[in-house]
Structure 1
């Protein structure tokens, strides 16, 4: 299993650039499998590529209903509404493990490319919306200790 970078590592503070060529995203299948393995081994719901030291603007997230993982390339939150404050954990805050209260949008609309390179727009609510905002923050070089309050 790939090692998850921990808070303080400079790679976690960098903005991950968008992928310019979306015509052959299947070349990232091994990378997707590595991210899923990290989630499974560490009991996480999602993981962004920069958390394992890669500079690919994507993350994987587990669907709460089906239990299947899905990859989101070049994700951008294009709309959001509602506010809630909730407790979050993070795979990059496991040594020692800490949690933060973070205010997030309750509902979001996400634009992303799927594994086939096709643009998708999808609405997410509640925990999935929170998780996506957390992963997009990672891709933008933001960790939740910068925007939340320690539990």
Structure 2
């Protein structure tokens, strides 16, 4: 199981580099370890390589939006190609005190994205709701963006104070 980095670790702000060779055994091992970490982390809907203690994280995310792990998948080099209809939803993050910190975030409710699967096959999917939010949240991580970055300065400062109190205890 990989270590999940915790805010304010500066590595969470790193931008992941693209995967050049999906078939590389090191990439496949990282994907396996990412799935293992996600499955063993309570209430985890997804993880990106930049959230984990990995040297030179690549543009890889794993997502699981079903309680039975039947809708788990890997996204390599994902890109959002279309979005529409914004809505607000409460989000949390495995890297920001997952049992304590949540905030209402406005994001597109419907997206279309493209990526490669772990076998290197192209994926293009239109999705909405919770899965669309998870994909956007994980792509943000790959770009060094955290969900709290979508908040107003005032709300973000309030969350940072709460984080400071949690860190102190």
Point out 4+ residue stretches in structure 1 off by more than 4 angstroms. Answer: none
Contact 1:112–1:121 (CA under 8 A) maintained in structure 2: yes
What residue is the counterpart of 1:37 in the other structure?
A: 36
Pairs within 5 Å for 1:40-79: 40-43=39-42, 44-54=44-54, 55-64=57-66, 67-68=69-70, 69-79=72-82
Higher helix share: 2
TM-score (norm 2): 0.80
SS in 2 for 1:12: helix
Q: Displacement, 1:91? A: 0.3
How many residues align? The count is 150
**1:121 maps to 2:120:** no
Residue 106 of structure 2, aligned match among 81, 99, 103: 103
Task: Report what 1:19 is aligned to.
Answer: 19
Higher strand share: 1
Unpaired segments ≥5 residues, structure 2:
160-169
**Alpha-carbon deviations, 1:93-115, whole Å to 9, x = none?**
12773011111111111110111
Contact 2:2–2:53 (CA<8 Å) still a contact in 1? no
Q: Which has the higher contact order (CA 8 A, sep 6+)?
A: 1
Instruction: State whether residues 25 and 116 of structure 1, in contact with CA within 8 Å, keep that contact through their aligned partners in structure 2.
Output: no
Instruction: Check conservation: 1:106, 1:125, Cα contact below 8 A.
Output: yes
Kindly name which structure, 1 or 2, has the bigger radius of gyration based on alpha carbons. Answer: 2
- Structure 1, unaligned stretches of length 5 or more? none
Q: Give the alignment's Cα RMSD to 1 decimal.
A: 2.1
Counterparts of 2:146 and 2:13 in 1: how far apart (Å)?
8
The 2-side partners of 1:140 and 1:146 are apart by 12
